[in-house]
Chain A
Amino acid sequence: MDNTKGKLPFILVSPIEKFSIELSVKIGDAVGDFFGYPIKVLPLLQEIDFAFNSDRDQYHSTLILEKLSSLAPERCLKILAITDKDLFIPILTHVYGEAQLNGIACIVSTNRLNTDLQLSKNKVLERIIKESIHELGHTFNLRHCKDHSCIMHYCRSLEDVDLKSNNYCRYCEVLLSDAMN
């Protein structure tokens, strides 16, 4: 999938290791519609062993973001990496995703979003898209929002994720359009 002909900046969706290209394309479609940027799906990282922490049996997301931002191709506005590995930062038990605030790279993990075999695929995809829009919001310099229904609300659990909407509140919407212009 490459609709990035011309000189427009694009958002790069980057599946990590063997993460499904098909699912990455679906996530890209949703994110592209939402932000109004062309999407390119391209794996940038074949492995993330460098970020593995054996004590925690998890991957340190901050290190992956540093690596990704060094690999950004020309005209790439933002990188959204997707992995099925479990991510962490040192003070938290785990993260669904992390972003470089006002930076280029963000990452979302599907590891904890698919908790229940009885969940429909759509439900899981909805969570992945919410987290993708949340993390991309951070790359556009948005901070966490107190509004529980705003997509920039900080969610500790899946219950919180399912409760928030898939949209920015009016306040965050304004900040986002400022950042995008």
Chain B
Amino acid sequence: MRTQREETTAQAVENRYNSTTLGNQVWKLKQEKSDKEDQQVKPCIWMASGAVAKKSCNNFFDCTSCKYDAAMEQKVADGKQISWQDSMRRRESMERLCRHSMTMRMVPRVCAYNYNCSSCDFDQYLEDVLSHRTKHAAFAIDNVKGFNVPQGYYFHSGHTWAVIENGGHIKVGLDDFALKLLGKADALDMPMIGVELNRNMPGWGLKRRDNLADVLSPVDGVIVQVNEKARRNPGVANSDPYGDGWLFSVHNSDIKGTLKALMDHDESMAWTGEEVNRLEEMIESVAGPMATDGGILLPDIYGNLPGLDWKQLTRLFLKNS
């Protein structure tokens, strides 16, 4: 019985070994590079339509808050530029992709409304209801001393995360560390849609036995969606903290500023490592010095080590005092 992690570690070591001894390191590098290129090519809707030659999206496919889009619309109004809609109208009707497919929110779908989005029921439906539900693309996960830290997610020091969804909403949740530390909550006290979250302020709460803990919101924003599945069954967060276990979707028009205030991937990795060290010190202060080697902390550390103090744990790690 071996853990997943050890197998991947062994695999990684073996891959490295193979790539040096078999001399196929060049092949590996190429592979990595092309993966990266794929990630970087995010054609702006103006480029995808053929209206401009080259422009990649840097606004999370949220055209409504995009300065480039606004400037281009102005050019169109001044008669200096063909609109992306007109550019698409030059295509055969079956090749006229819906703008939501072009911005990667949707599987390819043909526009039946001649790009008059304001008269499209589907567009209204998508904007109002679907946008914050569209799945975040598959993500790679790094592991720091037994705790998962996904790439592309931004971390807050109160052990919460934020990630940008295509369309510009921000999804938030609790991180793997907090969920493994505190175990499965008996209840999540989640606010309703329309409530405003404030960064660094208690945004929601969790309950375990008779213990309560406030959780600080990692971002400012208005809640546009609550994960009902997680509300009904908090264990969903423990089993998939960065996927199905998300908690809210919020709207905030200043996405770049929001992200800047959080930790990027490298910072999140380093910080998680330090938090694990702090936790181990705390465990040793309760259980005595560890005289073992090997292994990682089992989920539900609070439940597995009766001497740990809930208040002290949540104050230190959720920063909620």
Complex Cα–Cα for A88 and B6 (A): 16
- B287 in the interface, Cβ–Cβ < 8 Å? yes
Closest residue to B288 on the A side, CB-wise? A101
Complex Cα–Cα for A112 and B9 (A): 13
- A93 in the interface, Cβ–Cβ < 8 Å? yes
**Quick one: which of A99-151 are within 8 Å of B by CB?**
99-101, 106, 112, 115-116, 131, 134-135, 138, 143-144
The stretch among B115-123, B169-177, B298-306 that forms the contact with chain A is B298-306
A97-B292 in contact (CB<8A): yes
Closest residue to A57 on the B side, CB-wise? B1
Closest residue to B295 on the A side, CB-wise? A92
Query: Taking the nearest CB of chain A, how far is it from the CB of B63, in angstroms?
Result: 45
- Residues of chain B with a CB closer than 8 A to A90's CB: 298, 304-305
- B26 in the interface, Cβ–Cβ < 8 Å? no
- A158 in the interface, Cβ–Cβ < 8 Å? yes
- Residues of chain A with a CB closer than 8 A to B146's CB: 93, 156
Q: Kindly identify which residue among A86, A89, A101, A159 contacts B9, using a CB–CB cutoff of 8 Å.
A: A159
A95-B6 in contact (CB<8A): no
Q: Kindly identify which residue among A91, A99, A157, A162 contacts B305, using a CB–CB cutoff of 8 Å.
A: A91
A92-B293 in contact (CB<8A): no
- Residues of chain A with a CB closer than 8 A to B13's CB: 159, 162
A-B contacts, CB under 8 A, total: 93
Q: Kindly identify which residue among A91, A93, A97 contacts B293, using a CB–CB cutoff of 8 Å.
A: A97
B6-A91 in contact (CB<8A): no
B6-A138 in contact (CB<8A): no
B291-A157 in contact (CB<8A): no
How many B residues touch A, CB cutoff 8 Å? Answer: 28
Q: Kindly identify which residue among A86, A91, A157 contacts B1, using a CB–CB cutoff of 8 Å.
A: A86
Complex Cα–Cα for A156 and B292 (A): 10
Q: Kindly identify which residue among B1, B287, B291 contacts A99, using a CB–CB cutoff of 8 Å.
A: B291
Give the 6 A-B residue pairs with the shortest CB-CB distance, closest first.
A96-B294, A92-B295, A138-B291, A101-B291, A95-B292, A99-B291
- B289 in the interface, Cβ–Cβ < 8 Å? yes
User: Could you tell me which A residues sit within 8 Å of B by CB distance?
Assistant: 57-58, 61, 86, 88-101, 106, 112, 115-116, 131, 134-135, 138, 143-144, 154-159, 161-162
**Quick one: which of B286-321 are within 8 Å of A by CB?**
287-298, 301, 304-305
Contacts A157-B9, A159-B13 hold; do A95 and B297 have CB atoms under 8 A apart?
no
- Residues of chain B with a CB closer than 8 A to A97's CB: 292-294
Contacts A115-B10, A157-B9 hold; do A94 and B293 have CB atoms under 8 A apart?
no
B293-A95 in contact (CB<8A): yes
A156-B289 in contact (CB<8A): no
B296-A98 in contact (CB<8A): no
Contacts A91-B301, A91-B304, A156-B145 hold; do A100 and B296 have CB atoms under 8 A apart?
no
- Residues of chain A with a CB closer than 8 A to B292's CB: 61, 89, 92, 95-99, 154
Complex Cα–Cα for A142 and B20 (A): 38
- Residues of chain B with a CB closer than 8 A to A106's CB: 291
A91-B9 in contact (CB<8A): no
B293-A154 in contact (CB<8A): yes
- Residues of chain A with a CB closer than 8 A to B304's CB: 90-91
B289-A143 in contact (CB<8A): yes
- B232 in the interface, Cβ–Cβ < 8 Å? no
- B104 in the interface, Cβ–Cβ < 8 Å? no
Complex Cα–Cα for A97 and B301 (A): 20
